[in-house]
Amino acid sequence: MTTVVIQEARARDMVGIFTQMPDASTAAPSSGESAEAALAFLAEMSPDLRGAAILGPEGEVLAATGEEPGRWREDAAALFAAADAAEGVPVEQVHIATEQGEVFAIRNAGLAAISVTDRFALASLMLFDMRSTLRQLAQGGK
Amino acid sequence: MTPPKPHRILLDRVSVYADEAAAFMRRRRVARRPFARLYYPHGRSADHAEDSRSGAELFVAAGRLIEVAGKRGKG
């Protein structure tokens, strides 16, 4: 189907989007294991969380909830692409509230995290938790 | 007439604050509409309306992520 082809092409073209990190520092290589642990910790701290993913500098999925890491990669790339295109400047954080749930995305220390929560999650706490999770992960998961 | 006991005053005060907080949360739920907010370095933020081009793209992308995350289940 044409739509599928377009989506694949978009995802392929947008891989480099994650290299436009506003934070000057780059992440230390994070193992999938430490990313999984960080994600589990984030889920534990955030009772409203439905699902989340942690992405590496190239947009690769380091850890994700559910069984579709490929979709997290594609859809996160699409979100960051739309957000960066809004004003032509790379964004640091994204918060979108819809009737179906809320989406948070953040770039920090060369990594990116995406979270989906129930409606009316406390945005400042969610973004704080995500930022500190990424920071710890970039420091080697200590 | 004897004045109320100190612990009674404290309890009343706490329950007033709890009522206020509950009312605030109710108002917040009713008043809050969908929005897309982007944050840039140095603390700047910008809202994008759902009917704008950039806003529509953001809502579509968010909708896909909500779909991936599913209804519930953290693992």
ipTM of the modeled complex: 0.77
The pLDDT assigned to B12 comes to 83
Please classify residue A84 by burial: count the beta carbons closer than 10 Å to its beta carbon, then call 0-12 exposed, 13-18 middle and 19+ buried. middle
Could you list the residue range(s) of the whole structural domain that residue A106 is in? Answer: 2-138
Interface membership of A42 toward B (CB under 8 Å): no
What are the residue boundaries of the structural domains of chain B, listed by start? 1-32, 34-75
The pLDDT assigned to A2 comes to 46
Q: Which of A14-23, A57-66, A104-113, B36-45 has the lowest mean pLDDT?
A: A14-23
Direct distance between the N- and C-terminal alpha carbons of chain B, in angstroms, rounded to an integer: 61
- Binning pLDDT at 50, 70 and 90, where does residue A89 land? very high
- Cβ-defined contact of A78 to B64 (cutoff 8 Å): yes
The pLDDT assigned to A29 comes to 47
- CATH code assigned at A107: 3.30.450.30
Q: What is the 3-state secondary structure (H, E, C) of chain B?
A: CCCCCHHHHHHHHHHHHHHHHHHHHHHHHHHCCCEEEEECHHHCEEEECCCCHHHHHHHHHHHHHHHHHCCCCCC
A-chain CB neighbours of B61 within 8 Å are: 75, 78-79, 81-82
A41, A89, A98: best to mutate for the B interface, most B CBs within 10 A? A98
The pLDDT assigned to B71 comes to 65
Q: How far is residue B66's CA from residue B64's CA, in Å, rounded to a whole number?
A: 5
Domain count, chain A: 1
